[in-house]
Amino acid sequence: MITFKVDNLKAMSANLALFAEFLKASDISEEDVFLSRLVSSELISNVIRHGRGEAEFRGELLADRISISVTSLCQSGIDLNPPKPDALAEGGRGIYIINAVSINGIERGENGELKVCIKRTR
């Protein structure tokens, strides 16, 4: 398991590089590393942009999946079911992408955390 707290996108990038290295060292496929980092980046950036302040990240390897959780003090500005973005829009694709590549989409945990699982291919 790997955990960290970030409050800006530059720190997020550095910490997600460490998460990717953790996954690679655990013999996770390149595709799963890519998807895990993509999902993590989208979740954290949404929390930083639309929530308040700091995001707390937790990435965990389970037998058949990679579990990703992001928590912040306020997540009320994050819509987990936004409409499909316009194809020419500059933004708004993050939640849609996460829902498309994860096992069950984004779920809210008991403590309000955003949880996503990526199916392991090996």
pLDDT at residue 75 in the model: 61
Give the residue from 84, 88, 109 showing the smallest Cα distance to 97.
84
pLDDT at residue 76 in the model: 61
CA distance 16 to 5: 11
Q: What is the CATH number of the domain that holds 88?
A: 3.30.565.10
CA distance 116 to 122: 18
Tokens of 44: 């954290």
Task: Kindly indicate the confidence band of residue 90, based on its pLDDT and cuts at 50, 70 and 90.
Answer: confident
Count up the domains in the chain and report the number. 1
Task: Kindly indicate the confidence band of residue 46, based on its pLDDT and cuts at 50, 70 and 90.
Answer: confident
Q: Which domain covers residue 29, as residue numbers?
A: 2-119
Q: Which comes out higher in pLDDT, residue 92 or 66?
A: 66
**Rg, the chain, Cα only:** 14
Q: What percent of the chain has a predicted confidence (pLDDT) above 90?
A: 54
Could you give the 3-state DSSP secondary structure of residue 78? coil
Tokens of 103: 């096992």
Mean pLDDT of the chain: 88
